[in-house]
């Protein structure tokens, strides 16, 4: 028999949402594809270079079913759940599962500071390791690394040469290239993309260099 109380509880579940918008994915494996972004409100971190501080507070409570209805207005299979730090809200796990059940290609952008082990395996987790210049290095939850698979992506936002060398050391220490795709991007306006590209080539590193496409197209405008 169905558990009616549980079903009622699930249908009443809601998340605090800063924005839901349709744009081009600016980074990661699906860069360039039209994508619906669901930005959850709140983050326990305070990275020096954060470009979404407007998502720290505010937002609106939205029922999970209403989030799904909003997403379905757009003709794309790509959904990215982002923040803030989406996993700071427990019901995010349910949202991710529901989106996968609907057949979407779902990615999750997460800081790496919270447990990723409960995330639906169909989701591609795009997890940060916070570098020294982020000033949030001590929040890295290294236990997460063992859960990463080739379906996931590990991202380093590099601010300077020290960050770069730190990231290379972490790649070697945790044998990251054998676990999942590793992404290197620059902190916008802190390090020239060309400089990072040159370092990667000099060291013949098998990481994926990426530019944040949306910042070049729309100059980091919220909702784009």
What residues line the site for ligand SF4 (CB under 6 A)? Answer: 43, 45-47, 50, 52, 83-85, 111
Q: CB 19 → ligand SF4: shortest distance, Å?
A: 13
**Is 136 or 181 the residue whose CB approaches ligand SF4 more closely?**
136
Q: CB 174 → ligand SF4: shortest distance, Å?
A: 20
CA dist 210 and 120 (Å) reads 26
**Is 122 or 135 the residue whose CB approaches ligand SF4 more closely?**
135
Rg (CA), the chain: 18
Q: CB 139 → ligand SF4: shortest distance, Å?
A: 8
The H-or-E segment that residue 194 falls in is: helix 193-202
Which of 131, 85, 92, 132 is CA-nearest to residue 109?
A: 85
**Is 101 or 221 the residue whose CB approaches ligand SF4 more closely?**
221
Residues 6 or more apart whose Cβ sits within 8 Å of residue 108 = 80, 81, 82, 86, 87, 96, 119, 123, 124, 125, 126
**Is 68 or 93 the residue whose CB approaches ligand SF4 more closely?**
93
Q: CB 46 → ligand SF4: shortest distance, Å?
A: 5
Q: CB 205 → ligand SF4: shortest distance, Å?
A: 23
Helix (H, G, I), strand (E, B) or coil at 189: coil
The torsion region of residue 150 among left (phi > 0), alpha (psi -120 to 50) and beta comes to alpha
**Is 47 or 71 the residue whose CB approaches ligand SF4 more closely?**
47
């Amino acid at each position: 028999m169905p558990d009616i109380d549980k079903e009622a509880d699930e249908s009443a579940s809601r998340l605090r949402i800063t924005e839901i918008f349709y744009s081009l994915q600016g980074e990661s494996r699906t860069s360039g594809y039209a994508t619906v972004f669901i930005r959850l409100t709140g983050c326990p971190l305070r990275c020096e270079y954060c470009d979404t501080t407007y998502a720290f507070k505010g937002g609106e409570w939205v029922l999970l079913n209403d989030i799904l209805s909003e997403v379905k207005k757009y003709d794309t299979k790509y959904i990215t759940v982002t923040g803030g730090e989406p996993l700071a809200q427990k019901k995010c796990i349910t949202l991710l599962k529901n989106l996968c059940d609907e057949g979407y290609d779902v990615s999750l952008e997460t800081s790496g500071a919270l447990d990723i082990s409960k995330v639906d395996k169909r989701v591609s987790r795009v997890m940060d390791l916070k570098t020294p210049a982020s000033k949030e290095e001590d929040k890295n939850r290294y236990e997460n690394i063992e859960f990463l698979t080739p379906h996931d992506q590990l991202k380093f936002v590099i601010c300077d040469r020290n960050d770069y060398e730190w990231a290379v050391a972490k790649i070697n220490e945790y044998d990251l290239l054998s676990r999942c795709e590793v992404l290197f991007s620059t902190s916008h306006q802190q390090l020239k993309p060309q400089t990072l590209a040159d370092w990667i080539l000099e060291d013949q590193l098998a990481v994926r260099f990426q530019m944040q496409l949306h910042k070049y197209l729309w100059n980091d405008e919220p909702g784009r």
